């Protein structure tokens, strides 16, 4: 061999394989590629893996003062560097800003569709990954159904994905059954008119806007389209639209009602509730009764009736939907309500009896009142709520028990004049807050807003309960724990947490203000609940 060839070969390194293991490639030596472990990794007792793909970022290399790849290696003279970088007819562009993005339920064809829309001048909005929080895994989350032509033809279809993955899991306390918003409402919306899909997407955009205000404009635009279509349908053919066997009108009102609850939780959702009551009454009078009821209509009516009862416990207004939805002998826990119809029937009767309390003037009327109050208390004491057969769920049972304890407080305060200083109220409030703390730890406090509200407004300002802090475990005061529970529930609920918190803080302020007043500031003829809780609680949703 010529001397020059021997000299060149002396310093030449062993050629590397392009498909060797990661360790050999990192050490720049040839890998024999034996499976499952190459000889070098076996000898050195290393984990042998074959993942040759490595992402390198130019900015990171420059920050470390290193060359990026072979950039600049081939240039012999610095005088020709700029000349070679830009030639005639070419323009040097700055490196664009790169952000993190995520795509839900998409593939390359969907991405190409989005790019085609952007090229055509259509408005395309992507979802920043940092704004999408991963929700706890529950049976309510199913693989996304095949997108219907209606959803495909509507822009901003990612709100549809948000409804499936973020709204539906928040509307069900049970971890072993699906939410009706997923199992009942979603299939109807997919196969229903375009207006219900728009209403569904408007609700999703409104909920998302509570975390990211950029989506508020999309929520308002979609809501405006739904309302305009609603008015147009009513104006064109009122009877046909309202009295159609298709429950479209009720579903639209329900989604708009939820929209207003999530948005501001003011009188606007009550207007929808009152309109739903009139339409349901009209439909029951005009439409023939069938032996096979529509599950969509059944759930929507239950939604309105339950919202009515739970909201009236705070504001003490007259009922809208009556007691026919709440059979006294049904103690099975409803997965969506988080309690049994029997418990709701006791609440309903308590509210009616409390409203008639101030009309009691004679001795006989007072005896009747006491007998009815004792009967309600006895019914509550004997009530045993159980989940449906095959749906045993620890979280659902805790929610139902917290609601039963809250009903106990409500009966004592509304009918028997109890207040936060009553020993039994103090003990029950502490039990509720402990149960809610355990629910938050288990990730199942999405339907426990009413128990938290009842416990919070009946905290004694002079003798606050002591409970473990949710984050540190150190003993702290009940009001602090309530605020922590509200913060945690905001992550797993569709309710208006901000409005509920404002009402609770208003009750605390009134109690503190009248703390040194005569008789605690109590007005004549009003019990503790009417004095401190009812003011400021109008149009509050506690579902």
Residue 467, SS3 per DSSP: strand
> Which one, of 425, 431, 378, 426, lies nearest residue 403 by Cα?
431
* Assigned token pair, 71: 């950039």
pLDDT of 271: 94
Cβ neighbour number for residue 27 with a 10 Å cutoff: 15
Whole-number pLDDT of residue 81: 45
Question: What letter would DSSP give residue 137?
Answer: P
Which pLDDT score is estimated for 522?
Answer: 56
d(CA 395, CA 379): 24
CB distance 533 to 314 below 8 Å: yes
Q: How far apart are CA 267 and CA 273, in angstroms?
A: 10
Residues of the chain with CATH 4.10.240.10: 18-65
Sequence-ordered alpha helix ranges (H) in 28-121: 39-44, 58-63, 81-85, 108-119
Please tell me the predicted confidence (pLDDT) of residue 495: 86
Q: What are the residues whose beta carbons fall under 8 Å from the beta carbon of 195, sequence distance 6 or more? A: 226, 229, 230, 233, 248, 252
Report yes or no: 395 and 439 within 8 Å, Cβ to Cβ. Answer: yes
pLDDT at 202: 94
Question: For the CA atoms of the chain, what is the radius of gyration?
Answer: 32
Overall fold of domain 18-65: CD2-Gal4 (4.10.240)
36 upstream amide cis, omega within 30 of 0: yes
Confidence (pLDDT) at 350: 95
Token representation of residue 7: 């000299």
Counting runs of H as helices and runs of E as strands, what totals does the chain give?
24, 4
Distance CA 537, CA 314 (A): 6
What's the confidence (pLDDT) of residue 290? Answer: 67
User: Residue 418: how many CA atoms within 13 Å on its side-chain side?
Assistant: 22
Q: What is the pLDDT of residue 117?
A: 46
The DSSP call for residue 468 is E
pLDDT the model gives residue 516: 61
- Which residues, including other chains, have CB under 8 Å from residue 337's CB and lie 6 or more apart? 302, 306, 344, 447
Residues 427/408, Cβ–Cβ less than 8 Å: no
The pLDDT value given to residue 118: 44
- Both structure tokens of 163: 């409804």
Residue by residue, pLDDT tens for the chain (543 residues) are 444 444 444 445 555 556 788 888 888 888 888 888 888 888 888 888 876 556 666 777 777 777 766 665 555 454 444 444 444 455 555 555 554 444 444 444 544 554 454 444 434 343 433 344 444 433 333 334 444 555 554 556 789 889 999 999 888 877 778 889 999 999 999 888 889 999 999 999 999 999 889 999 999 999 999 999 999 988 888 788 888 888 999 999 999 999 999 999 999 999 999 999 999 999 888 887 766 678 999 999 999 999 999 999 999 888 899 899 999 999 999 989 999 999 999 999 999 999 888 788 788 889 999 999 999 999 999 999 999 887 788 899 999 999 999 999 999 999 999 999 999 999 999 999 999 999 998 887 878 999 999 999 999 998 888 999 999 999 999 999 999 999 999 988 888 899 999 999 999 999 998 876 544 555 667 889 999 999 989 999 998
Quote the pLDDT of residue 27: 85
Q: Rounded to an integer, what distance in angstroms lies between the CA atom of residue 83 and that of residue 77?
A: 11
d(CA 125, CA 128): 9
Classify the C-alpha dihedral 476-482-487-491 as positive or negative. positive
Contact by Cβ (8 Å): 154, 123:
no
**H helix intervals, 237-362:** 238-242, 248-263, 267-286, 295-315, 341-355
Helix axes 248-263, 295-315, angle to 10 degrees: 30
Q: CA-based diameter of the chain, in Å?
A: 127
> Per DSSP, which regions of 2-44 are E strands?
none
Length in residues, the chain: 543
Distance CA 433, CA 455 (A): 7
């Amino acid at each position: 061999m010529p001397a020059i060839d021997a000299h060149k070969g002396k310093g030449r390194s062993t050629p590397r394989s392009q498909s060797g293991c990661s360790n050999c490639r990192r050490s720049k030596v040839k890998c024999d590629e034996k499976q499952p472990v190459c000889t070098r990794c076996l000898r050195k007792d290393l984990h042998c893996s074959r993942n040759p793909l490595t992402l390198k970022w130019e900015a990171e290399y420059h920050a470390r003062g290193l060359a990026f790849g072979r950039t600049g290696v081939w240039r012999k003279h610095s005088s020709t560097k700029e000349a070679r970088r830009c030639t005639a007819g070419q323009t040097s562009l700055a490196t664009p800003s790169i952000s993190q993005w995520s795509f839900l339920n998409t593939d390359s064809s969907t991405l190409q569709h989005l790019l085609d829309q952007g090229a055509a001048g259509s408005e395309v909005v992507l979802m920043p990954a940092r704004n999408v929080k991963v929700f706890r895994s529950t049976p309510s989350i199913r693989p996304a159904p095949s997108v219907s032509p209606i959803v495909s033809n509507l822009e901003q279809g990612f709100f549809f994905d948000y409804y499936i993955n973020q709204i539906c899991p928040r509307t069900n306390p049970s971890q072993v059954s699906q939410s009706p918003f997923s199992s009942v409402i979603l299939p109807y919306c997919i196969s229903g008119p375009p207006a219900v899909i728009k209403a569904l997407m408007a609700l999703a955009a409104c909920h998302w806007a509570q975390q990211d205000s950029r989506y508020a404009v999309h929520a308002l635009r979609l809501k405006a389209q739904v309302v305009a279509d609603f008015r147009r349908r009513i104006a064109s053919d009122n009877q046909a639209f309202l009295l159609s066997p298709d429950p479209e009108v009720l579903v639209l009102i329900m989604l708009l009602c939820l929209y207003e609850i999530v948005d501001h939780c003011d009188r606007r959702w009550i207007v929808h509730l009152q309109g739903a009551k009139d339409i349901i009454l009209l439909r029951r009078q005009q439409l023939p009764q069938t032996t096979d009821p529509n599950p969509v209509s059944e759930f929507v009516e239950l939604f309105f009736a339950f919202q009515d009862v739970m909201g009236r416990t705070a504001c003490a207004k007259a009922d809208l939907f009556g007691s026919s939805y709440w059979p006294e002998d049904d103690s099975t826990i409803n997965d969506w309500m988080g309690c049994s119809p029997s418990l709701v029937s006791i609440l309903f009767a308590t509210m009616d009896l409390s409203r008639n309390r101030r009309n009691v003037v004679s001795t006989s009327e007072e005896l009747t009142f006491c007998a009815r109050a004792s009967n309600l208390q006895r019914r509550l004491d004997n009530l045993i709520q159980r989940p449906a057969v095959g749906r045993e769920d620890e979280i659902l049972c805790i929610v139902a028990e917290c609601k039963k304890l809250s009903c106990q407080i409500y009966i004592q305060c509304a009918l028997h004049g109890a207040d936060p200083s009553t020993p039994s109220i103090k003990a029950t409030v502490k039990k509720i807050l402990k149960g809610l703390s355990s629910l938050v730890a288990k990730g199942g406090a999405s339907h426990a807003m009413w128990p938290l509200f009842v416990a919070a407004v009946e905290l004694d300002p002079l003798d606050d309960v002591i409970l473990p802090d949710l984050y540190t475990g150190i003993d702290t005061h009940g009001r602090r724990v309530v605020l922590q529970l509200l913060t945690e529930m905001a992550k797993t609920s569709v309710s208006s947490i901000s409005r509920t918190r404002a009402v609770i803080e208003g009750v605390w302020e009134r109690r503190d203000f009248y703390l040194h007043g005569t008789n605690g500031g109590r007005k004549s003829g009003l019990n503790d609940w009417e004095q401190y809780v009812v003011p400021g609680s109008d149009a509050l949703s506690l579902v």
